[in-house]
Amino acid sequence: MKEIRGHAKSQRAREIERLMQMGKKRSNLRMRLKISIWEWTVAFAKFLKSFLDVLISFIMLILLSPLFAITAILIYLNDPGPIFYVANRVGLNGAYFGFIKFRSMYMNADKMKDLLLEQNESKDGVIFKMKNDPRVTPIGKFIRRFSIDELPQLINVLKGDMSLVGPRPPLPREVAEYTLEDRKRLHVRPGITCLWQIKGRSEIPFRQQVQLDLEYIRSQGLKNDLIILLKTIPAVISGRGAY
């Protein structure tokens, strides 16, 4: 009798253990399924963002081609030389790329900058800003005022170096002065416009720019990107902080 009861208990124990193992397997399966769905959702969101970046940039380049041609002629007539200015900028995960802009400064602007460093009006000192920068040409002031000089960055978007919305790409010398917190800005693809671009541009101190960029990274999504793009239009028209 004792052997029978002992055998029955042993069977119940094995059955309980089997059920627990099945429960663990189902739990692990659900967890793996949730992770897979999340990874797929993130991958799809990234793909959709990249697809829309390329599509919108391509359409805008076609529609804005007359403006590109007129701007190119005016730049050359004002100060003969290259139409575009290409500089090394730091992008996603610290990778360098050629950042394209319409040239808004005189040909010797880079050499003049070292002489003007003491007149830097940026409160934080990491970036260089001057409201009345003598290096900027007359036509350069106009295209900066309405952010026309930034339009060639649509080519950077087509190449995959940039996105329409994201933190603005910094210069290598700026990144050299970054803190670990600042470097989080490099965890996403840089953009043509961003939160601080629609909140005052150059009037926003560097540290506040960083905080706004980190805020964007934490809450980024297609809906927020669309809102920023729409708010960029009145921000460009107003010209606030454009210098």
Nearest residue to 144 via CA among 159, 133, 157, 158: 133
Q: Is the pLDDT of residue 76 over 80?
A: yes
Confidence of residue 199 (pLDDT cuts 50, 70, 90): confident
**197 contacts 216 by C-beta, under 8 angstroms:** no
Higher pLDDT, 34 or 233: 233
Inter-CA distances, 80 with 9, 83, 85, 193, 236, Å: 95, 8, 13, 29, 27
Output DSSP code: residue 183. G
Task: Write out the two tokens for 235.
Answer: 């921000």
Pairing relationship of beta strands 191-193 and 163-165 according to DSSP bridges: parallel
State the Cα–Cα distance between residues 133 and 136, nearest whole angstrom: 6
Nearest residue to 201 via CA among 148, 240, 149: 240
Q: Tell me the whole-structure pTM to 2 decimals.
A: 0.78
State the Cα–Cα distance between residues 4 and 227, nearest whole angstrom: 73
Higher pLDDT, 25 or 201: 201
Confidence of residue 200 (pLDDT cuts 50, 70, 90): confident
**187 contacts 163 by C-beta, under 8 angstroms:** no
